[in-house]
Amino acid sequence: MRQKTDVKQGTLALMILKTLEVLGPLHGYGIARRIEQISGDLLSVNQGTLYPVLLRLEQEGAIESDWGASENNRRARYYRLTRQGRRELQSEVEGWHQTTEIMARFLSAKTEDLS
Amino acid sequence: MKRLKRLWRRTVNFAVGRTGDRRLREEMDEHVALQTEENIRAGMAADEARRQALLKIGPVEALRESYHAEEGLPKIETVLQDSSYALRMLGKSPVFTAIAVITLALGIGANTTIFSFLDAVMLRSLPAKDPQRLVKLGAEDWNGITDSYACTELYSYPFYRQFQRTNQVFSDTAAIFSLTNDAHGFIDNRSESEPIKVQMVSGTYFQTLGVPAALGRVINENDDSTEGNHAVVVISNAFWKRRLGRDPSLLNHKIKLGKTVFGIVGVAPSEFFGTTVGVAPDAWAPLSMTESIPPGWTGRKENFSESLYILGRLKPGITMQEATANVNVVFPQILHSFPDAKLTPDNLASLARAHVQLESMARGLSYLRLSYSEPLKVLMVIVALVLLIACANLANLLLARSTARARELALRNALGAGRMRIIRQLLTESLVLALAGGFLGIAFASLASRILLRMISSGQHAVPLDVSLNVRLLAFTFAVTVCTALLFGTLPSLRATRLQPADSLHGGRGSSVLGARTPIAKTLVISQVAISLVLMMAACLFLRTLVNLHRADTGFSRENVLRLDIDSTVTGYKDNDPRLKELFRQIEERVRALPGVQAASFSAFTFNEGSWNTSIVVPDMPLDLRANIKHNIVGNDYFNVMKIPLIAGRSFGPEDTSASQHVAIISEHMARMLFPAGSPIGRTYKIGDPNDFETVREEQVIGVVKDVKFGGVTEQTQYLDYLPYSQRDWGFGDFEVRYTSSFGETSRDVQQAIHQIDRTLPIENVTTLDQQVAASYGDQMVIARLSAFFGFIAVFLSSIGLYGIMSYLVSRRTSEIGVRMALGADRSVVGWQVIREVSIWILVGIAVGLPITLEGGRLVGKMLYGLSGSDPSSLAAAAFVLLAAGLIAGYLPARRAARVDPVVALRCE
């Protein structure tokens, strides 16, 4: 059995922002579902932990929320990326790319490269 | 920016108590519902689908908590929770809480009170612009008028003017008359005169201080330009409020002082009390009007009539050293430029010696500071020690409580509260107690400072000193409160949380509890006793000093003498006017004729009222310019009033008139030291030094009287002589009456008699001679009373501490005592053992406190009179009081121990 990886809070926030960027306004369940799909069930999240993170992002002004109707026509809270959130996402993504690139290069280095 | 935004949201949430609890629940319900549907679509049974959905979302309670933590300000919430819990716990034991809060209120209040005086007298800056840049010429705060050459403390008006022009270090220079004129004047056309305290200042005074008028204008340079024709005053805000009812049209009001009517040109700001702390003038007048304001000092034009303080504002960038250097260059130059300087060898020598010291005026002048600095510092230490004792008591109480609460704490611990969490809870309780004590203490302090202000005021009016609450005082009190809480709260909370939960939950009487608590409690009690010894010793020393001062021989009889001041300047007569002398004579005669009055006399001085002093020239004796003779101008009955025995010759009588030979009566000490051997009767001498006789008149000695104290109880024997007012002019002063009836009756009759002769004469400071003498050591009285008060509080608190721990120990040992009694121990022996234990603790405390006490005694040695700081009888008394109080405290538990019923005690176990 493949081991499932825990997520750090910061990465979870980034995933949420990215999800909202790609899919537009979404409720909590939709976000959780999407993250699960993309990570290919590699990620085990207590899905509830999403909500405190959503709250923090909202307090920071990266996302907004409002009540709306869900697929089965009940009340659900929809989250939407703000312009500030978009900017933040962009810089975070760049930072993340840089880090992974460096790490990838570093980890693929051969003995002769390091000597 | 991001964080700020978030903090703001959280603070708002916290403040309005908004919670997203409902929103979260709704969101999660929806989440679970959606997931369930999804699961059903995937083929699960309905029940299973919901179960899986719930599993996936995770533990709901933990989630709610972390959601909540994101939402508000959890730390502050904890503090509030702790506080409300603390309030509940304290409310459960009202007696403990009341005792603790009152003890703390007394301790903190006393500290606040003394600090408010310390602050007002010694620390606070003048209410002027940039007070740090203000300096004064001369370091000792003399006051008066002198004609000595090269005086570096007081300056003449011509000197001030030249100095203002020639110095290069001050941007502004001002002069202040060193005496305040306690005049009486008439406001508008009112017929009753009012006391008006006038401070004469140069035209630059307000400008130098940077103080603008609150209304109208301040005195300016033009008001001080020509002598005698600028009858204007600036009045204080308090006077404006008190006498003019804050009437904004100042031009409608006039003040008549002496013969001159003064216009009111402005009102000073309310916080401005002048430049002397503890003296708040009612009005400021320009120096140009010196002669018009009673008592009408003269000498403004004279180069060597030195009566002014000079102060200046340092130019930007000029240091104190540079200023001192420049002033000392300018000083001799100005003196040399005076053509009337008497360049005798003595004067030249004193000029060569003269060095003008500069002193910061940031805190202003103060006579209070001179006499009260030391007492206030000592009192500050005393109240701090009292607070320390109170803290020890509370720590002991809390220790006892924490033992009682051991089960509660253990339970909390078992339920998962960490040690830090419990310590924080206990400290919060201490802090809540301390804050309650602090609040009550501030209320207590505002009352106490009024009492203390009354105590340091010698006259009828309270010293104008602002000791009201201010930010600085509140900050001080708050700091003291927090320190107090930490002091008495830390130890018990650390101790309380060291318990093993298992032990405590088990029996609540584990042996570890008892063993752990008593050594700390004992140490606390012993240190209380040690500190109490220090305070009790201080009380004994200062009380004995006070008794010594009371008993000191002043040479005159203090009892049954009424004294009052009249201000004869309101009559408008000059000092040498025969009508004035006739007025004095009439008053003396009328009062002397009153029933119950033995003698009555005017005098220039009685006791501790300053002096007029000069050197004298006695034929056939070497000239001694350093011998300062203090002159008193008196009525014929003076020696009878004061009961100063005549040793030789005769007293003044009606035969001594302005036309007859000028006569004088001299003191014994003066006769012995300054006159040739043999009787001085019939010999003559001249007042003043040979360089500047004011007149060529000679005084002939007609009598010798016993020495008396003149300036203070503790002073060395002085040279004193007495001149009759029939021959020497003197404007106003003291009136003394020796009576046989009661003070109240005499006071009423005397004032009536004076007003029958002249209705307008203001009468002030009606008191007894005894009180006047006592007022001269008012600082000693204050410190003796307060140190005694706090000494007894300290002993009382320590006794409570002793009682507390003894009762605790007895109740702990009930079973042990029961066993011993059952085995045949005598009741009295058991009681004695308790008493013995208390005595040992007290003795240990005394032994510990002894070196501190002796060191403390050495430090206050200079403030004592007639005994040393290590006075053995004071020490014995202090130790005795402590022991007695301690034994009383130990008696009750001892009695309880002796009454233990062995059967009951053993059944208890």
Mean pLDDT, residues B817-824 taken together: 83
Which member of B6, B31, B69 has the closest CB to residue A28?
B31
B513 pLDDT more than 90:
no
Confidence of residue B192 (pLDDT cuts 50, 70, 90): confident
Which residues in chain A are contacts of B57 at CB distance < 8 A? 46-48
B41 to chain A, any CB pair closer than 8 A? The answer is: no
CB contact under 8 A, A29 and B30: yes
The model's pLDDT over B48-61, given as tens digits with 9 standing for 90+, comes to 888 888 888 877 77
Tell which wins on pLDDT, B595 or B149.
B595
* d(CA A24, nearest CA chain B) in Å: 18
CB contact under 8 A, A75 and B30: yes
CB contact under 8 A, A60 and B20: no
3-class secondary structure, B265: strand
Which residues in chain B are contacts of A76 at CB distance < 8 A? 27, 30
The model's pLDDT over A61-81, given as tens digits with 9 standing for 90+, comes to 888 888 888 777 788 888 998
The overall longest dimension of chain B from CA atoms, in Å, is 139
B94 pLDDT more than 50:
yes
Query: Minimal CA–CA distance to B503: which of B426, B398, B413, B422?
Result: B413
Mean pLDDT, residues B22-45 taken together: 85
The model's pLDDT over B674-705, given as tens digits with 9 standing for 90+, comes to 999 989 999 999 887 666 555 567 899 999 99
| Nearest chain A residue to B5, by CA | A60
B24 to chain A, any CB pair closer than 8 A? The answer is: yes
B449 pLDDT more than 60:
yes
Mutation site for B-interface testing, chosen from A51, A65, A70 by largest number of B Cβ within 10 Å: A51
Mean pLDDT, residues B823-832 taken together: 83
CB contact under 8 A, B5 and A59: yes
Percent of chain B with pLDDT over 70: 95
- Give me the pLDDT at residue B864, please: 92
> CB of B398 within 8 A of CB of B494?
no
Contacts of B900 (CB under 8 A, 6+ apart): B814, B817, B818, B821, B830
B30 to chain A, any CB pair closer than 8 A? The answer is: yes
> CB of B698 within 8 A of CB of B686?
yes
| Nearest chain A residue to B68, by CA | A52
Interface residue ranges in chain A relative to chain B, Cβ cutoff 8 Å: 27-29, 32-33, 46-49, 51-52, 55-56, 59-61, 70-72, 74-77
Mutation site for A-interface testing, chosen from B19, B26, B27 by largest number of A Cβ within 10 Å: B27
Other Cβ atoms less than 10 A from the Cβ of B674: the count is: 21
Mean pLDDT, residues B492-514 taken together: 58
E strand intervals along B742-820 = 763-768
- Give me the pLDDT at residue B669, please: 95
> CB of B197 within 8 A of CB of B180?
yes
Which residues in chain A are contacts of B63 at CB distance < 8 A? 46, 48-49, 51-52
Quickly count helices (H) and strands (E) in chain A.
5, 3
Mean pLDDT, residues B26-33 taken together: 84
> CB of B84 within 8 A of CB of B421?
no
Which residues in chain A are contacts of B31 at CB distance < 8 A? 27-29, 32, 47-48
Q: In the predicted model, what is the mean pLDDT of chain B?
A: 87
- Report all structural domains of chain A as residue ranges with CATH numbers, in order of start: 9-114 (1.10.10.10)
Q: Which of A70-84, B128-142, B359-373, B458-472 shows the lowest per-residue confidence on average (mean pLDDT)?
A: B458-472
Q: Before B680, cis peptide (omega within 30)?
A: no
Query: Minimal CA–CA distance to B774: which of B548, B451, B526, B480?
Result: B548
Confidence of residue B84 (pLDDT cuts 50, 70, 90): confident
B605 pLDDT more than 80:
yes
Confidence of residue A8 (pLDDT cuts 50, 70, 90): low
Mutation site for B-interface testing, chosen from A29, A34, A73 by largest number of B Cβ within 10 Å: A29
CB contact under 8 A, B6 and A56: yes
Amino acid at B335: L
Q: Using CA atoms, how far apart are residues B899 and B880, in angstroms rounded to an integer?
A: 28
* d(CA B19, nearest CA chain A) in Å: 12
B37 to chain A, any CB pair closer than 8 A? The answer is: yes
CB contact under 8 A, B5 and A47: no
Which residues in chain A are contacts of B27 at CB distance < 8 A? 27-28, 51, 76-77
Mean pLDDT, residues B661-671 taken together: 94
Which member of B6, B33, B58 has the closest CB to residue A47?
B58
Query: Minimal CA–CA distance to B294: which of B254, B258, B256, B255?
Result: B258
From residue B542, alpha-carbon distances to B85, B161, B779, B866 in Å are: 46, 48, 11, 11
The model's pLDDT over B772-807, given as tens digits with 9 standing for 90+, comes to 998 889 888 889 999 999 999 899 888 888 888 888
B623 to chain A, any CB pair closer than 8 A? The answer is: no
> CB of A90 within 8 A of CB of A112?
no
Which residues in chain B are contacts of A71 at CB distance < 8 A? 34
B270 pLDDT more than 80:
yes
Tell which wins on pLDDT, B626 or B153.
B153
Q: Which of B378-382, B385-389, B893-897 shows the lowest per-residue confidence on average (mean pLDDT)?
A: B893-897
The model's pLDDT over B164-177, given as tens digits with 9 standing for 90+, comes to 999 999 999 999 99
Element housing B740 (H / E): none
* d(CA A39, nearest CA chain B) in Å: 16
CB contact under 8 A, A72 and B6: no
Confidence of residue B156 (pLDDT cuts 50, 70, 90): very high
CB burial of residue A114 (10 Å; 0-12, 13-18, 19+): exposed
Which residues in chain B are contacts of A52 at CB distance < 8 A? 63, 66-67, 69-70
B505 pLDDT more than 60:
no
- Give me the pLDDT at residue B516, please: 44
Confidence of residue B111 (pLDDT cuts 50, 70, 90): very high
Q: Using CA atoms, how far apart are residues B909 and B906, in angstroms rounded to an integer?
A: 6
Confidence of residue B215 (pLDDT cuts 50, 70, 90): very high
Which residues in chain B are contacts of A32 at CB distance < 8 A? 31
* d(CA B15, nearest CA chain A) in Å: 15
Query: Minimal CA–CA distance to B288: which of B396, B200, B361, B370?
Result: B200
CB contact under 8 A, A32 and B20: no
| Total beta-carbon pairs less than 8 A apart between chain A and chain B | 76
Mutation site for B-interface testing, chosen from A59, A71, A79, A91 by largest number of B Cβ within 10 Å: A59
B517 pLDDT more than 70:
no
CB contact under 8 A, A51 and B2: no
* d(CA A84, nearest CA chain B) in Å: 10
B732 pLDDT more than 80:
no
B515 pLDDT more than 50:
no
Q: Which of B402-416, B474-488, B504-518, B841-855 shows the lowest per-residue confidence on average (mean pLDDT)?
A: B504-518
Q: What is the pTM of this model?
A: 0.79
Q: Which of B225-229, B514-518, B837-841, B882-886 shows the lowest per-residue confidence on average (mean pLDDT)?
A: B514-518
Mean pLDDT, residues A29-47 taken together: 76
Q: Which of B127-141, B282-296, B568-582, B743-757 shows the lowest per-residue confidence on average (mean pLDDT)?
A: B568-582
CB contact under 8 A, A55 and B67: yes
Q: Transcribe B209-228 into DSSP letters.
A: HT---SEE----GGGGTSTT
Q: Using CA atoms, how far apart are residues B268 and B288, in angstroms rounded to an integer?
A: 20
- Give me the pLDDT at residue B720, please: 94
Q: Where are the domains of chain B?
A: 2-72, 131-367, 369-550+778-908, 561-776
- Give me the pLDDT at residue B508, please: 44
Mean pLDDT, residues B594-622 taken together: 89
Confidence of residue A113 (pLDDT cuts 50, 70, 90): low
Q: In the Cβ-directed half-sphere of A94, how many Cα atoms lie within 13 Å?
A: 5
